[in-house]
Amino acid sequence: MNRTGSLRSGRTTAASAVPPDLSHRVRDTGDRQFVAALARGLSILRCFRFGDRYLGNLELSRRTGLPKPTVSRLTYTLTKMGFLFRSPVQEEYALGAGALVLGHAYLAALQIRAVARPMLQELADFARATVMLGENDGPRMVIVEVCHGSPTYQLRMEIGQRVPHNSTALGRAQLAAMTPAQRTARLEEIGKALSAQERADLETNIEAALLEYDRRGFVHSCGDWHPDFFAAGAPLRSADGTRILALSVSGPAFEMSRKRLTTEIGPRLVATRDAIYQAVKGFF
């Protein structure tokens, strides 16, 4: 996996050059209840990645795999509905206010964030690291809360940004808490964007993560996503088993050694996870 960014004083940019995200591509599922036209429209919105400002119909066609005339009709409709904004100067599209309303409604409804944030900040201060809370978003994890504990070295991650499952502690923790059937389906989905060698590496990494989770109750990622950052992760499964969030602690390798991860940070992370679970009584 290609990685960019370097460790420096201040905020550090995480890996941005990642395998293509094909989660927005609409495939024939054979499900008669599946409304393909709606899915195609939503796939346009999912094309916008962190840092994207404007995208044209040609780029949207490339990212979705849809014909350009179809994309043109979808962007026209989404603009009329307020989910996209068309710049007459750029002759391209940006996300509209309608998309922000949906995102804000999601965050407001996720009440666990307000409960968890003081505990996440306490953990971040203790670890002198960045603590994230994330939830699954197709083949990636989307960050729903971030707390920084070091004023000097910070992982540049924002709420709403997505990260891979396979190379991050956040994603590996979420995979570890899945049922075998759920995990198999998710890994197959992730593997569609990878080469044969990357798929083999994925299987090896996840097998190791599952063994570590069974043994310690948490997983780790030591330079697998960003070469200068080590991280530990733990899942947070709802009491009814319908929802799996994940927590991670990420810090610079010189601060977050493997020994500190396994003997100090990981156990503290699990304790924080359990405290959050008790505070919300397992429902979120």
Taking the C-alpha atoms of residue 169 and residue 144, their distance in angstroms, rounded to an integer, is 15
Say how far residue 242 (Cα) sits from the centre of its chain: 18
pLDDT for the residue numbered 51: 84
Task: Count, in order, helices (H) and strands (E) of the chain.
Answer: 10, 10
Find the mean pLDDT for residues 8-35: 56
Give the model confidence (pLDDT) of 92-136 as tens digits.
999 999 999 999 999 989 999 999 999 999 999 999 999 999 999
pLDDT for the residue numbered 138: 79
pLDDT for the residue numbered 135: 96
CB 162, CB 142: distance < 8 Å: yes
Q: In the predicted model, is pLDDT for residue 4 greater than 90?
A: no
Find the mean pLDDT for residues 181-206: 89
Find the mean pLDDT for residues 203-214: 94
Q: What are phi and psi of 253, to 5 degrees?
A: -60, -35
Q: In the predicted model, is pLDDT for residue 11 greater than 90?
A: no
Go through 219-251 and write b for each residue having 16 or more CB atoms within 10 A of its CB, e for each that does not.
Answer: bbbbebbbebbbbbbbbbbeeeeeebbbbbbbb
Contacts of residue 180, Cβ cutoff 8 Å, sequence gap at least 6: none
pLDDT for the residue numbered 27: 65
Q: In the predicted model, is pLDDT for residue 193 greater than 50?
A: yes
